[in-house]
Chains A and B, each alone.
Chain A
Amino acid sequence: MSEFLQQLLNGLSLGAIYALIALGYTMVYGVLRFINFAHSDVFMVGAFIGYYMGKLVPEGTLWGGLAVLGVAMLGCALLGMTIERLAYRRLRSAPTLNVLITAIGVSLLLEYTGQVFFGAAPRNFPSIFPVRNFQLGGIIVGSNQLIVIAVSVVLMVVLQLIVYRTRIGTAMRAVSLNPKAAVLMGVNNDVVISFTFGLGSALAAAGGILYALNYPSIDPLMGVMPGLKAFVAAILGGIGNIPGAALGGLILGTVETFVSGSQWSTYKDAIAFAILIIILLFRPAGLLGRFTVEKV
């Protein structure tokens, strides 16, 4: 029983990170109807900002950790907005495929520029938050796992409040529903889309730092696998749907952990993706997604 609970905890903390990255994919899709493949590399840049910032603050303090988290989120928000301004904005009226290819290009650009600037060798991520272990019944709860879950929950609640309780959130939903009508109603689409990219990238940065905290070896290609998983999580939950992305991330993280801990650990990715295929066979729009008919 304690093994089951321990695995569940491991799975939830991994899933919470997937969920944070998945939110970025889903929000951009919700507003622009395209998959921002560069998202997983913004995640990587977030971890690297954390790495350099982590050297400036004293190790193992709560305020230092939060400061690093804040700076990385801000830095990546700017990066996300810059990418949108330089690469995607001109293609707003172009076919989705063109934007998709551009996104892959931006992704490769970030990865290999990263290799030039940061070097290809893995680096050790500093432990920026205090590290303690807690005994809870038979299971061991690491402070990093708690931080991952706590930060993720807080960020998701904040995101939900922004989207449903603020003017800019209302504008985001309006653009998502019908961009042309939103313009006619006086919404500045450029600002809204820019904001969406900033918000999504900030969440990716948070995901990057939390990931690096738990698995403290970072390199420029570190975003590829988690990015892919988060993308799957976003589809699993129903792309464009915010609670769906969170749910998808948690399911994927938990399944992956349970498979890893069993005899079939080598098949963990295969099983995770098989689940995606099965769910999409029965619910093509994802778990919480709504099926919309595309008008031609």
Chain B
Amino acid sequence: MTKALRSLLLPVLATAAFTGAACAQETIKVGEFASLTGKEAAFGQSSHKGTLLAVEELNATGGILGRQVELITEDNQSKQGESATIVKKLISRDKIIALLGEVASGRSLEAAPIAQNYKVPMISPSSTNPRVTEMGNYIFRVCFIDPFQGTAMAKFAKDSLHLKKVALLTSVSSPYSVGLAKYFKETFAAIGGEIAIEQKYSEGDKDFKAQLTAIKAAGVDGIFVPGYYTEAALISKQARELELNFPIFGGDGWEAPQLIEIGGKAMEGTYYSTHYSPENSSPAVQSFVKKFRARFAGETPDAMAALGYDSAMVLADAIRRAGTTDGPKLRAALAGTRNYEGVTGRTTMDPHRNATKAAVVITVKDGQFKFVESIAP
């Protein structure tokens, strides 16, 4: 319905925007593709709110280069294949100058070759799989990558949780999960831990009792679940039902309020690594949290929101430095981003167009997300 409605409204809105813009200067069109509905909707919604806040803030302070920013957002319904279609539409019909998105690496991987092909700079706020930016020199990201995240969690498991034998439960249908599992495994084995058993599942599975029973029989003292929040919550819940009461931990794919909503009490004593914590007392974080709460009915922004915000701000910074929205020049300016102070820390693009940032570990205690420690790159 929303789609149908949008296709009806779009021409109307477009005409309105066009006539409005004709008097002033032409707007800067920025495209965003996000999972606003479907399985990973919490990611898309958070990330979109962050991006929207950034764009509204930019426009309120006079826009970029004296021009207003127009954010055109499309929903991929968390489905495979959908991102490619909407990104093609954003580029060819809406003529966007840059593309922001996605959280899930699998869907960023779908869009990246298209953006590269049309030479439209793309910034992924929070896709952590290394392959995303390897798709071409027009693809950037403002977050850390999985080799770092996997290493950080392996060290955390060994040094802070004191785990020796760990089970892996990986989603085989998500590049994010497969990549993160690989890097965790390599480091954990290298620092003297043991991966006792590896079990697999596919996106959308709901029954994990079989895998968990096999894990239980292997006699481990922790499970690493590098998946997304819906499955992570169901896995934790079913693990507790089988009386597996040891730490279950994962990566930034867990970051969503739904984790606690679906998992409930089972999430107590679980850990995950992510990009930022709203508890951080730095002025940049606190002012962002305040602005976000004021704009979105008291909601506390999570890491996806913070990265969504930073992705738009890094783009704005690059447009200012480039002095133009021309593709190749904008690309060069983005690649030259050095020490940009954002909400999630300093962003410096390395030669592979990835940002190097610290990770934070969050735990669930008494039904609340709590900051545990920060791991420097």
Contact = CB atoms under 8 A, between A and B. Distances in A.
A48 B261 CA distance: 17
Contacts of A216: 234, 237, 262
Contact of B207 (A14, A133, A140): A14
Contacts of B325: none
Nearest to B197: A263
Given A140-B241, A217-B206, A122 B230 contact: yes
Contacts of B217: 2-3
A172 to B, nearest CB: 33
A83 to B, nearest CB: 21
A215 interface: yes
B183 interface: no
Given A133-B241, A266-B200, A122 B39 contact: yes
B209 A217 contact: no
A6 interface: yes
Contacts, number: 89
A257 interface: yes
Contact of B242 (A122, A140, A214): A140
B258 interface: yes
Contacts of B264: 124
Interface in B183-209: 199-202, 204, 206-209
A112 B37 CA distance: 13
Given A133-B243, A142-B241, A261-B214, A120 B207 contact: no
Given A217-B233, A265-B201, A266-B172, A120 B37 contact: yes
A121 B38 contact: yes
B210 A261 contact: yes
A261 B206 contact: no
A91 to B, nearest CB: 27
A116 interface: yes
A93 interface: no
Given A217-B206, A257-B210, A260-B210, A119 B230 contact: no
23 contacts: A6-B242, A10-B209, A10-B213, A120-B38, A120-B78, A121-B41, A122-B230, A124-B258, A124-B264, A133-B243, A140-B242, A140-B243, A215-B206, A215-B207, A216-B237, A217-B234, A219-B39, A222-B206, A256-B210, A258-B210, A261-B213, A265-B200, A265-B211
A262 interface: yes
A152 interface: no
A142 B239 CA distance: 11
Given A120-B77, A266-B202, A215 B234 contact: yes
Interface in A1-20: 2-3, 6-7, 10-11, 14
Nearest to B172: A266
A260 B204 CA distance: 14
B interface, size bucket = 35 or more
Contacts of B37: 115, 119-121
A124 B213 contact: no
Contacts of B206: 211, 215, 217, 222
A124 B202 CA distance: 20
Interface string B143-175: 000000000000000000000000000001000
Interface residues of A, number: 36
Nearest to B242: A140
B103 interface: no
A11 B172 CA distance: 22
Given A215-B207, A258-B210, 8 more contacts: A3-B217, A10-B209, A116-B1, A120-B78, A133-B241, A216-B234, A259-B210, A261-B214
Contact of A217 (B202, B210, B230): B230
B213 A7 contact: yes
B48 to A, nearest CB: 14
Interface string A260-282: 11100110000000000000000
What 8 A-B pairs come out closest when comparing CB atoms? Answer: A260-B210, A215-B206, A261-B210, A120-B37, A121-B41, A3-B217, A10-B209, A261-B214
Given A116-B1, A122-B230, A214 B207 contact: yes
Interface string B230-250: 100110010001110000000
A225 interface: yes
A257 B209 contact: yes
A7 B217 CA distance: 11
Contacts of B77: 120
A144 B199 CA distance: 24
B258 A3 contact: no
Contacts of A256: 210
Interface in A113-141: 115-116, 119-122, 124, 133, 140
Contacts of A2: 217
